[in-house]
Amino acid sequence: MPNESDIRGFVSIVGAGPGPADLMTQRALDRLQRADVVVYDRLISPEVLALIPQGAQRVFAGKALGNHAIPQEAIHALLVQHAKAGRRVVRLKGGDPYVFGRGGEEVQAMQAQRVPFEVVPGITAASGCSAGAGIPLTHRDLAASCVFLPGHLADDKATHDWRALARPGQTRVFYMGIQRLAHIAERLIAHGLSPNTPAAVVRDGTRSTQTVVACSLRRLVEQAPAYGPHPGLLIIGETVQLSPDFHAE
């Protein structure tokens, strides 16, 4: 069977990791350097973009809250169009395609159009940024489980199970959670979580511009940076106290 990277008319949905090029997998780098077309997201770092072959077509498909360069359905159509034209297509996504990356939707679109594809995993923000900030996601004495959640939900009428999330012994990671930090803290505390629970905001995690604010959840609401263009991760749980940036009250 030929290597997928040698097949034309093929889509590789690639996780680029949390930012630095040396945190990409070898397979991700291989697919990127063989690409004819690269459809990439907003959070792809300049050093990763620099690895795209000079002759490859680049298509920006970045998304921010309330501002999508290309609607998701149009991205699907673009991938299908280029693949059916016989091109090697890379859909380049920050983190991992299957963790809040809409990779599942893109796979369904390829399957519906009978376009051959693969998914190349990447280091997701939760593991990359927590490691960069010195925060274990699990710990034998502090957290037996961890849960990944969206900071803002696709359906405003939907809600988290706040009672379950307030239970002890778990690390809670909210992707893009800075904007909703006050609401998240209020809901968790209302359902029984101590306001003194360690919590952190990690911005630009694993990058040279990384910043970490780690303290009690109550103080974090007061001290956290405002929502802005930099990617940010909210981590709440006892393991946050192990970060070298943690400041106890």
| 84 tagged catalytic | no
Determine which helix (DSSP H) or strand (DSSP E) holds 57, and give its type and residue range: strand 57-60
How does residue 160 score in pLDDT terms, banded at 50, 70 and 90? Answer: confident
pLDDT for the residue 3: 58
pLDDT for the residue 93: 97
Catalytic residue of the set 41, 93, 96, 204:
41
Q: For the segment 18-47, what is each residue's pLDDT rounded down to a tens digit? A: 999 999 999 999 999 999 999 999 989 999
Catalytic residue of the set 22, 30, 36, 63:
63
| 22 tagged catalytic | no
pLDDT for the residue 100: 93
- Whether residue 2 is predicted with pLDDT greater than 50 in this model: the reply is no
User: What would the DSSP string read from start to end of 155-186?
Assistant: STT----HHHHTSSSEEEEEET-STTHHHHHH
- Whether residue 213 is predicted with pLDDT greater than 70 in this model: the reply is yes
Tokens coding 75:
């991205």
What residue type is 43 in one-letter code? L
CA distance linking residue 18 with residue 43, whole number of Å: 8
Tokens coding 207:
């990058």
Determine the longest span between alpha carbons in the chain, in angstroms: 60
Q: Which superfamily, per CATH, for 125-242?
A: Tetrapyrrole methylase, C-terminal domain (3.30.950.10)
At the topology level, CATH places domain 4-120 in: Cobalt-precorrin-4 Transmethylase; domain 1 (3.40.1010)
| Mean of per-residue pLDDT scores for the chain | 91
CA distance linking residue 41 with residue 56, whole number of Å: 16
The ranges assigned to domains in the chain are 4-120, 125-242
Which CA distances in Å does 12 have to 48, 128, 183, 207?
Answer: 16, 22, 37, 25
Q: For the segment 83-122, what is each residue's pLDDT rounded down to a tens digit? A: 999 999 999 999 999 999 999 999 999 999 999 999 999 9
Q: For the segment 221-246, what is each residue's pLDDT rounded down to a tens digit? A: 998 877 767 778 999 999 999 999 99
pLDDT for the residue 1: 36
Query: In this structure, how many other beta carbons lie within 10 angstroms of the beta carbon of residue 64?
Result: 11
CA distance linking residue 129 with residue 34, whole number of Å: 28
CB 225 within 8 A of CB 231: no
Radius of gyration of the chain (CA): 19
Length of the chain counted residue by residue: 249
pTM for this model (two decimals)? 0.91
pLDDT for the residue 184: 93
pLDDT for the residue 248: 84
